[in-house]
Chains A and B, each alone.
Chain A
Amino acid sequence: MPFLQALLNGILVGGFYGFMVLGFSIIWGVMGIINLAHGEYVMMGAYFAWAMFRAFGIDPFVSALLVFPIMFVVGYVLQWLIINRVVERPHLISLLLNFGISISIANIYKLIYKADYRSVTVAYAGSFQLAGFTFPTVKTIIFFAALLIMVGLHLFLHRTRVGKSIRAAAQNKEAARIVGIDVHRVYAITAGICIGLTAVAGAMIAPIQPIFPFMGPIFTVRAFAITALGGLGRIPGALLGGLLLGIVETLLTIYVPGAGAKVGTAVSFIILVLVLITRPQGLLKGLRPVEGGA
């Protein structure tokens, strides 16, 4: 039973990871850009939830809804004004640009909020029992919210014109241009959605995660590991990769004496290195470069 309970905890954490990584994975898959500022957008979402909770007593899950349109605009404008200028140049340039953006965001937040740890304590922070298992309430809500959003995103990408144009631009941007798709606008919309969703993930974990300006890199590293496991731009892949990482992290935390909660970062790095050495194309063929040509 303790093993099954640990597995359940891992699944709940993994569901969140799968959702958290989506923005990173889709931006990489569609534009071929590695968004090193990914974790900073998680951090921005978490700070938003904290600020709204502190100022107005607004629940973090309500803040998660509010933060999406704000961060959509941030992502759209960043992409339109800055990143689109380098998106078709060598990858190193966009990598450095995003690295610069990540450092800038973290330091701006440090200037505004100082380096103190912040937290959001909600009334429903405990747990409940069901079928002999203990379900941490916040993590359970996050898990199902994440699944719901992933289903919504899947429908958006497959059923709507703009979703299809995002997939088209990811697969063959020249062919997309030639049928009348404004690829740079599609990139801006993609960045808006991805950064918006990443901030939503950040707002949702505000009740279970210490919030500080330099919390971002841990999430970026996890995003790398999950993408290596699950593949680029694939929602089921992200979920699978997230679940794998969540379960491994949780089991190690429980069963390896002295591993502690920080084991996650180490595990992420180890998984990333192992996958890159043994299967450079990714575990599920996901790390192939963005497709071009026929």
Chain B
Amino acid sequence: MSTPILEGQGISKAYGGVQALYRVNIALYPGEILGLIGPNGSGKTTLFNALSRVIPVDEGRIFFRGQDVTDARPYQMARMGLARTFQVVRVYKKMSVLENMLISRSWRGVRAWNVLRPSRRETYQRAWELLEFFRIAHLAHMPAGALSGGQRRLLELAMASMPDPEVFLLDEAMSGINPALVEEIKERIQEMRQHQGKTFLMVEHNIQFISDLCDRVVVLHQGQVLAEGTPQEITENEAVIEAYLGV
């Protein structure tokens, strides 16, 4: 296998007396779609926060494209090409949907002398294309705060796609979205992987979605990796069934 594009080695994180992650190893390879599952409180979001550098880790190292980014800041990760969404959707509620998209343009290579420039035509064009794909173009001029939960999630997905990142970390990005659109997004993710070589790490509770889309699945349980394998291996793994599927 090639070198991981994103890798966490021995990541530990505790909140007070609660050990959220304990020496977790995870590797995401270029062009891969990796699923991260586990019961509530198993440490999935903490691992996402650690990998995207939203929180510092107590122990372990994180590498992005071979570079040690353990001390990097979230904005630096974004500029390096890592996008993420949140379990609780984060959009700029007082701005219009279109403004949300324009803010999420690439900040890579933005220099002091061009921060005063207005958004370029290509930026608008990309924003409209993505809004159309996610079927929210008709809401472009509405304040993001007026959107429904599902629409906000679509907006967040569109915002994450805006800077054309190499790696997407999607934290329950499909929750609240209608099933027909979930199917369409699934196709788009596959297309982005096939034609653009994009890489995805996604937390999902929808096991069917994970099984259909992911090449591999990592199962977290009580802050540790319980199992790792193909979706079929995971659904047949007895330890996983006991800990997570509850069957």
Contact = CB atoms under 8 A, between A and B. Distances in A.
Contact of B117 (A160, A165, A167, A179): A160
Contact of B78 (A156, A167, A180, A294): A180
A175 interface: yes
Count class of interface residues, chain B: 35 or more
A179 B103 contact: yes
Residue of A165, A171, A178, A294 contacting most chain B CB atoms (<10 Å): A178
B111 to A, nearest CB: 11
A294 B91 contact: yes
Interface residues of A, number: 24
Interface string B88-129: 111111110001001110111010001111110000000000
A178 B115 contact: no
Nearest to A162: B115
A218 B152 CA distance: 44
Q: Is the interface of B mostly helix, strand, loop or mixed?
A: loop
Contacts of A164: 99, 102-103
B103 A165 contact: yes
Contacts of A88: none
B198 interface: no
Interface in B46-93: 52, 54, 73-75, 78-79, 83-84, 86, 88-93
Contact of A180 (B114, B118, B163): B163
Contact of A174 (B54, B73, B79, B102): B54
A142 B58 CA distance: 55
B107 A171 contact: no
B54 A172 contact: no
A294 B145 CA distance: 8
Main secondary structure of the interface of A (DSSP, over half): helix
Contacts of A161: 110, 114-119
Scoring A160, A162, A164, A165 by chain B CB atoms within 10 A of each residue's CB, the highest score goes to A164
B79 A171 contact: no
Interface string B3-42: 0000000000000000000000000000000000000000
A114 interface: no
A177 interface: yes
A231 B202 CA distance: 40
A89 interface: no
A30 B186 CA distance: 37
B174 interface: no
A168 B88 contact: no
A175 B91 CA distance: 7
B217 interface: no
B92 A178 contact: no
Nearest to B110: A161
A252 interface: no
27 contacts: A160-B115, A161-B116, A161-B117, A161-B119, A162-B115, A162-B116, A164-B99, A164-B103, A171-B92, A171-B93, A171-B95, A174-B90, A175-B90, A175-B91, A175-B92, A177-B54, A177-B74, A178-B84, A178-B86, A179-B107, A180-B75, A180-B78, A180-B106, A180-B163, A181-B103, A181-B107, A182-B75
Interface of A: 156, 159-162, 164-165, 167-168, 171-172, 174-183, 291, 293-294
Given A165-B115, A181-B103, A294-B88, 10 more contacts: A160-B115, A161-B115, A164-B103, A168-B92, A172-B93, A174-B86, A177-B78, A178-B84, A179-B78, A180-B75
